[in-house]
Amino acid sequence: MKKVKYVLVVLSVALIFMMAGCGGNRGENSEKSIVLNGSTTVFPIAQRAAEEFMNLHSDVNVSVRGTGSGNGIAALINGTCDIADASRPMKDEEIKKAKENGVNPVSTVIAKDAIAIIVNKDNPIKSITKEQLKEIYTGQITNWKELGGADMKIVPVTRDSSSGTFEIFEEKILGKGTEMISSAVVQGSNQAVKTTVSKTPGAVGYIGLGYVDSTVKTVAFDGVLPSKESVLNGTYEISRPLFMYTDGVPKGVVKEFIDFVMSPEGQKIVEEVGYIAVKPVK
C-alpha cells in the first residue's frame, strides 16, 4: 500500500507541473495567471503593461514571451497561451485552423506602429525610395554608391518568416511572391536587427518604431520619416495596427488585463515605449 500511495503522489505532482507548463490547455489553468506570446514588436508594450498590471494586482502572474507573431498565433491556436501578440492580422488559414481546434480568435487593436528603415549611424544616406529598397532586398542594388552614398557593400538585414514585421515588409515593399536575396542576414527579433545594423557599416534593416534609438539612423522612406504624425495622417506608407488576440471575447483576468492596456494608463505605456496610442492617453 505504501508503494501505491507514493506513486499516486508522484503522479499528482507531475500532473500539476504539466498543467502549469506551456503544454497544457490554458483554459484549465489558474484564472490568476496570464500567458502572452508572440510579436517582438508588441513585446515592449506587453512587458511594461504586465509589470504595471502585476503591481496593481499582486495575486496575478503575467508572463510575456517574444517569439514572433506567427509563433504567438500558433500558441493561441494550440491552447498554450491566453493572448497572442501580433504585428499583423491573422491569416485566413490560421483562422480556419483555430476554428478546427475549437478556438475563436478575437482581436483587439492596442496600438499603431510604423516600420522604420534603419542604417548604420555613420551612413550618410538620409532617404530611400520604395523602389530602391525593393531593389536592395532583391539584389539589384548592392553598393551604397549607387544611391549617392559611400563606396560600400550593402548588407540587407531581415526578419525571419514567423515575424509579422517581415510579412508587412514583404507585402508593402517586396510584393507577395517576390524572392528576397539569399544573402540577406536573417534575425529573430527587432532588437537583433537593430544590433546587427548598429555594428555593421553597410547594413540596412527594418524595425518597429518602438525599437528606434540613437544606436542606429532612421532614414526617410519616400521622403517621409516615421513618426506619430506621419502615421496618423497617412503619409508614412509602412504603418500597421498592433494586435492582441484572445480565444473568444476576453473574460476574467484576461479581460482585466486587456482593459488595462486599453485604458488611459495602458495607452500611456504604448506611447512611452515608442508606439502610437489608439485611445486617449492620461
Residue 99: other Cβ atoms inside 10 A: 12
Query: What does the pLDDT read at residue 282?
Result: 76
Contact 219, 95 (CB under 8 A): no
pLDDT of residue 19: 35
Q: What is the pLDDT of residue 31?
A: 56
Whether the Cβ atoms of residue 231 and residue 112 lie closer than 8 Å to each other: yes
Rounded to whole angstroms, how far apart are CA atoms 196 and 175? 25
- At residue 13, the pLDDT reads 33
Mean pLDDT per 10-residue segment, the chain (282 residues): 37 33 43 93 98 97 97 98 98 98 98 98 97 98 97 98 95 93 97 98 98 98 97 96 98 97 98 97 84
- Nearest residue to 262 via CA among 247, 277, 246: 277
Instruction: List the chain domain ranges.
Output: 2-112+241-272, 113-239
- Do 113-239 and 2-112+241-272 fall under one CATH topology? yes
What is the CATH number assigned to the segment(s) 2-112+241-272? 3.40.190.10
Q: What is the pTM of this model?
A: 0.87
240: Cβ–Cβ under 8 A, 6 or more apart, which residues?
Answer: 87, 88, 112, 113, 115, 168
In contact, 76 and 103? CB cutoff 8 Å: yes
Distance CA(158)–CA(20), nearest Å, equals: 35
For residue 86, list its beta bridge partners: 243
Nearest to 52 by CA among 271, 268, 223, 207: 268
pLDDT for position 177 = 85
Residue 49 pLDDT: 98
Alpha helical stretches, state H, 142-274: 164-169, 190-199, 228-232, 252-262, 264-272
CA distances (Å), origin 204, targets 109, 234, 235: 29, 24, 22
Q: Which residues of 171-191 are buried (b: 16+ CB within 10 A; e: fewer)?
A: ebbbeeeeebeeebebbebbe
Find, among 238, 216, 220, the residue nearest to 119 by Cα.
216
Name the grid cell of 240.
500597421
What distance, in Å, lies between the first and last C-alpha atoms of the chain? 63
CB 140 within 8 Å of CB 178 = no
Does the structural domain 113-239 have CATH classification 3.40.190.10?
A: yes
Would you state the pLDDT for residue 6?
A: 35
Helix (H) or strand (E) holding 225: none
Tell me the CA distances in angstroms from 143 to 150, 189, 204, one per residue in order.
Answer: 8, 25, 11
Chain-centre distance for alpha carbon 169: 13
